[in-house]
Structure 1
Amino acid sequence: MDVRKKILLADDDLDDRELFSQILEEREDAVLLESVENGIEVLDFLNRSAETGSLPDLIIIDHNMPRMNGRQTLQEIKSDARFANIPVVIYSTYSDDHFVNGCLGEGALHVATKPFHYREYKKIVDSFIALLDKNN
């Protein structure tokens, strides 16, 4: 039985998606279910997953995305009873107190600053998995 944490990633930057994928491939405790480019695709994936009963254990969302940004996506996820209990992490190239507090107030598990280097990405993925462990 596969007990790895299932992760859904939303980021419009292909390089960032590839880095997350590479880092998660190296882990034995987590697997990338899907990586998508925007919030609309997150909601489409969640709706399909709800039908099969295979929802992610964690959703990681970049804030700056086209069509539907991270905060809007968070609001949609948390407003749907089927998905409201899935932990969501928002990460962005910027974060001020107003943004962070707004996301946390809307149900984000954590808000992080987007890293720039591989080593920092690895650390942030470690911290996201640790948050998920602590949240369970």
Structure 2
Amino acid sequence: MNTTPAKILFVDDDPDDLEYYGEAIRKQSPSVCIIEKPDGIQALAYLQQAKADGSLPCLIVMDFNMPLLNGRETFEQIKNDEVLARIPIVIFSTATSHIDEAYFKENGIENFRKPSNGKEMEIIAQHLLTYC
């Protein structure tokens, strides 16, 4: 029986958003381990190490608009790795274009507009936990 807690990787350059998402998930499921990375480069480095350790997250939640590597660029690198490509990805963003929306749909990426209140985040957190 595996007693290792589920891990969710949150990738966002806004520390307040990372804290907000983590709190919402922990409120729903205190045993979930939240890993936070501020950009796509650090997220990819973490994922490569987690792949080597056999400790991959059950879900990746990331902002679309990030410095260094944006959500699309980070997704493309994850998608090109046979092992990492199996991890579900959810995009959070404050604004996306119709082109971005089409890209998400075409690639099977669920996406949410960043929630503006606690109740909305609570509903999204419950949904995110279904991946784990």
Q: Which runs of 5+ in 2 are unaligned?
A: none
Deviates most, 31-40 or 20-29:
20-29
- Contact kept, 8 Å, 1:78 with 1:106, in 2: the verdict is no
Q: How much has 1:5 moved relative to structure 2?
A: 3.2
Match of 1:72 in 2: 73
Per the alignment, do residues 80 and 122 of structure 1 end up closer, same or farther by CA in structure 2, a change over 3 Å counting?
A: same
Deviates most, 59-68 or 99-108:
99-108
Match of 1:84 in 2: 85
Secondary structure at the aligned position of 1:26 is classed as helix
Q: How much has 1:107 moved relative to structure 2?
A: 4.4
Match of 1:123 in 2: 123
- Contact kept, 8 Å, 2:10 with 2:18, in 1: the verdict is yes
Match of 1:114 in 2: 114
Per the alignment, do residues 106 and 21 of structure 1 end up closer, same or farther by CA in structure 2, a change over 3 Å counting?
A: same
RMSD between superposed Cα atoms in Å:
1.9
Task: Provide the C-alpha distance between the structure 1 equivalents of 2:45 and 2:73, rounded to a whole number of angstroms.
Answer: 14
Match of 1:42 in 2: 43
Per the alignment, do residues 71 and 30 of structure 1 end up closer, same or farther by CA in structure 2, a change over 3 Å counting?
A: farther
Match of 1:19 in 2: 20
TM-score after normalising by structure 2 = 0.88
Q: How much has 1:12 moved relative to structure 2?
A: 0.7
Match of 2:54 in 1: 53
Secondary structure at the aligned position of 2:86 is classed as coil
Secondary structure at the aligned position of 1:84 is classed as helix
Task: Provide the C-alpha distance between the structure 1 equivalents of 2:21 and 2:3, rounded to a whole number of angstroms.
Answer: 20
Question: Identity, % of aligned pairs?
Answer: 33
Q: Which runs of 5+ in 1 are unaligned?
A: none
